[in-house]
Chain A
């Protein structure tokens, strides 16, 4: 392996990492917002919206991100909806992640027994107070492992962005290999950069996970 090649390519990879992170985290932010809103809609069985979100979840959980991106990037312009590649990445990741996040948040909400609500109500709390002080803190801490798994999954899925010509890590590596045929160096750096991106998430995540254990049930 040629160390000089590694050093030469470093700036290109750094740039690609920043773009991947930018789109990845914007998409994840969108996914979290969709997730919380959707989980609340499904949990409180809000009519009409509940059905719409149900269909949305099934569509996005049962098609690959690649297909979703192609649809948004190549099919939608044919009917006049034109979106930039970056926006398309954020949108695709947000919608896919949203479908997963909804289920994660919802399983947290649903794992809190109804009698917890009743016990809070019997102390004179309003439904809003019960949600804020009793249900959400417990539901969120139960959802944390699932949320973290989703985060890592979504950040890894960004590698598909290269197919809509976003200059992310995957695209940069493929591009460089195509031009200069330094296959080993390029792929080695690709692995290292994905680890740079994801290891901190894993490590910080498991620290957070341990911190929120206090909300666990059990005698």
Chain B
């Protein structure tokens, strides 16, 4: 499998405050990489660097052979290859579900409206929301909004999808429907980078686990089940312990 995303010696700081230090990561086509770690460890910032929402202070990020540089014009092309789904959905509140989805394919990729609409409806059908196509975001539940946000990202045909704690703002009963959608995506061969606090989900979907703490990769393994049952490092052990309770 070919390398889709390559991060080398990534260094990121906010006003001298180092958030990510000397990080390396490679993601191959079709791989599902789950990034876990305590709050403030740099997970979300790391994702935001990957599509150029954050400037980096050192190292390099390459997507499908092109360098991610937020200030360069090329960033527009790279962002089309890197879809992103946010914790707070970030649908456009003044547009209907369908218009949310077809806006960027039409304006950015200059695709034909009829063709994009057809694809959007097919994707909505897949996530069980085709009857909501003319609704406004405020009329949807959190879980529905998040599935629309996933469809919106998919409709751009990205090479890789970034998920930034996409279930963190959801009620428990809605978490499931969103995670199901993501598991379907993983099965269909999508390349995904997922930041999550849902450990059972991470265990189910991940091809590889990356455990991040204080801006560095502490543990990285493709033996996913083994990681959750017997983490190698002390820091990972301590972190995973916070998800269990003594009876």
Residues of chain A at the chain B interface (Cβ within 8 Å): 115-116, 118-126, 129, 133-134, 137-138, 141, 214-219
Contacts and interface: CB of A to CB of B under 8 A. Distances in A.
A217 B93 contact: yes
B80 A137 contact: no
Contact of B94 (A115, A120, A129, A137): A137
Contacts of B152: 123
B79 A124 contact: yes
Interface in B93-111: 93-94, 103-104, 107-109
A205 to B, nearest CB: 20
Interface of B: 48, 51, 53, 76-77, 79-80, 82-84, 86, 88, 90, 92-94, 103-104, 107-109, 136, 138, 142, 152-153, 156
A133 to B, nearest CB: 6
Contacts of B138: 216-219
Contacts of B48: 118
Contact of A124 (B94, B104, B136): B104
28 contacts: A115-B88, A116-B90, A118-B48, A118-B53, A118-B90, A119-B90, A120-B92, A121-B79, A122-B53, A122-B82, A123-B79, A123-B104, A123-B156, A124-B76, A124-B77, A124-B109, A125-B76, A125-B104, A125-B107, A129-B107, A133-B103, A133-B107, A138-B92, A141-B94, A214-B94, A215-B94, A217-B138, A219-B138
- B contact face: mostly helix, strand, loop, or mixed: mixed
A125 B76 CA distance: 7
A119 B84 CA distance: 8
Contacts of A141: 94
A181 B19 CA distance: 80
Contacts of A216: 93, 138
A122 B80 CA distance: 7
A219 B171 CA distance: 13
Contacts of B156: 123-124
